[in-house]
Chain A
Amino acid sequence: MSEIDEATDPAALIEAYYDAGWTDGLPVVPPSDASIAAMLAAAGLEGHEELGAITGRNAVVVAEKAAINAVMAGCRPEYMPVVVAAVKSLCAPAFAYHGPASSTGGSAMALVVNGPIARRLGINSGNNAFGQGHRPNATIGRAVRLIMMNVMNTRPGLLDRATLGNPGKYSFCFAEHEEDHPWEPLHVSRGLRREDSAVTLIASNSLYQVYNHLAAAPEPLLSCFADALGNVGTPNLLGFNETLIVFAGEHAEVLQKAGWRRRDVQRFLIEHTRRSVADYKRGARLPGEVAPADETTWRYRFERPEDILIAFAGGRAGSWSACLPGWGTKWTRSVTTRIDVPSAVSQGGNA
């Protein structure tokens, strides 16, 4: 263990973690030998085991350090397999950690949890799925950010150069609502089995909600998403984009009643999420004067159906859904990782 000092007063101990520069700005739960050991045991890990590495930074994530940060974040031990899977996603070559973690864009690392573990841990997928009030949502995402700061050296002002950042950088974790899902869940659409548990990581520049109270058919409803995703101020005009769309409540019902499937939504959005070169020139997103042909020359935001991730979450009432635009497929790609739970833990039902 990395014992470096002693203290006796819990409040003083919390302050000591602040003084060392190890927190995200909120107080942390001071770890103990027992809490770290419990965290490792719940994931079936030894402290020295390597979970992944960020090669460009020579940063290696070992299980003990991940466990310490998970305790500090307030995780219960049974959350640790989700944290581990999220760390593996961060370290996946396809995710290309350096850009989304360090860019001025200030991405939140949004985590979507699927499968039996989401229900067992009580990860909120319903009302206020993106909001406060649920321990696993709050602490799993927080643990991932603390690991980024403390283990992957991604500290604000140093290797985290976010211009503004966003509140999701503290924590952003929710579960997909699978019980009355109109289609296959997100993780199944990405090649896993329905009975698997999984976490999908996407670097999201922002979160914005899309409102439509009148649409009774998919086309007008989805045109609002196309408009939101195609705004002139978004990056990556050349079309290499990825996004997560989260349908909630009444919007999910509109799609379900119309019999639209995932591919139908993706194809509609590929076709309709576009802006003219003239729009981009008027907004000084492209240089030069507007030529007549620019009015009918289109730039499309998305290249492939699979670049539009779709999940269902949130309350049943309300005409709100959300877009979480990603950071661009040229720079990074979302990653889905299966969550491995040791059989002794999963059978013990300690969640």
Chain B
Amino acid sequence: MKLFDPTSKPVERAIKLAPRPASPRGLRLGLVENTKFNASPILEKLAERLARRHQMTVTVRNRKRSASHEVDADGIKALRAQADLVISGIGD
């Protein structure tokens, strides 16, 4: 008799990582808000601190359709083009 493996591993995808910034100073910041109750206040507070400490500027604010959905293609495009660093928060 045999054991039959019922599991599947995630399909591997090649993902090219963006180059790591040499310094946090002056980076363009993207915020991804997932619509949960406290997501936006947390992200905005973080952005304020990062602006104060490292002179970062929020250049993109993405609001997802819901926490259940991925960032859509247009959102990804904007984040790639306009942000050096992206923060995504869960809130609640």
Contacts and interface: CB of A to CB of B under 8 A. Distances in A.
B23 interface: no
A99 B36 CA distance: 12
B3 A100 contact: no
B74 interface: no
* Contact-residue size bin, chain B (C-beta under 8 Å from the other chain): 10 to 19
Nearest to A151: B8
A4 B66 contact: no
A277 interface: no
Contacts, number: 91
B44 interface: no
A58 B11 contact: yes
B32 to A, nearest CB: 14
Contacts of A69: 6
A2 B5 contact: yes
Interface in B1-58: 1-8, 10-13, 35
A195 B48 CA distance: 60
A278 interface: no
Q: How large is the interface on A (under 10, 10 to 19, 20 to 34, 35 or more residues)?
A: 35 or more
B3 A59 contact: no
Interface stretch (A16-24, A251-259, A316-324): A16-24
A332 interface: yes
B78 interface: no
Interface of B: 1-8, 10-13, 35, 65-70
Interface of A: 1-8, 10, 13, 16-17, 20, 22, 30-33, 36, 55-62, 65, 68-69, 72, 96-100, 103, 146, 150-151, 153, 328, 330-332
Given A6-B1, A58-B13, 8 more contacts: A2-B4, A5-B2, A32-B2, A65-B8, A97-B68, A98-B70, A151-B7, A153-B10
